[in-house]
Amino acid sequence: MHGLTNARLADKPAWAELADQVHDFLGRDWICAHHAHVDYRELSRHLPKWQPAGVIDTLRLAKATYTALPSYTLDALIKQVKPDLSDAPRVGRHRAAFDAYATAQLLLAMADRYESWEQLITAAVPPSLPGAPEPETAPTLW
């Protein structure tokens, strides 16, 4: 799918050479990804000291925003939402730069449907990931 082979990567820097730069670049900012569990899990595995402020999942957000779609793949959402991809990197689908750009455009389109940040993150942040709102607790006598 991605076309990466050992031969193609032979002259590229090893992860150990880039990890600190990636960690510094990500900082404590929010991240957004489609099916974010996968990206968060991999980033956390390779950057064990990294902790983002929060993780927005456009797959989860799409399911909350467009409740009747037959599919929530990135391709299906691009077809449904028709975001402006005219400035997207020309590398095409299934390439990180294009998919990240498309995901960002989908996030912007869906965010317009929410009145507040709290509503957006409630819909978009999986409970097990950073940034998820604390679940409301019912008041008790104790």
Q: Give the pLDDT of residue 2.
A: 65
Q: Give the pLDDT of residue 1.
A: 52
SS3 category, 121: helix
Distance CA 45, CA 135 (A): 26
Phi first, then psi: what are they for 139, rounded to 5°? -65, 140
Residue 124: is its pLDDT beyond 70?
yes
pLDDT in tens, 67-77: 999 999 999 99
- Mean pLDDT, residues 22-35: 95
Q: Give the pLDDT of residue 13.
A: 95
Distance CA 104, CA 74 (A): 11
Q: Could you tell me the two tokens for 12?
A: 């590229």
Confidence of residue 96 (pLDDT cuts 50, 70, 90): confident
Confidence of residue 83 (pLDDT cuts 50, 70, 90): very high
pTM for the predicted model, two decimal places: 0.86
Place of tokens 């390439």: 95
The identity of residue 76, as a single letter, is A
Distance CA 129, CA 26 (A): 16
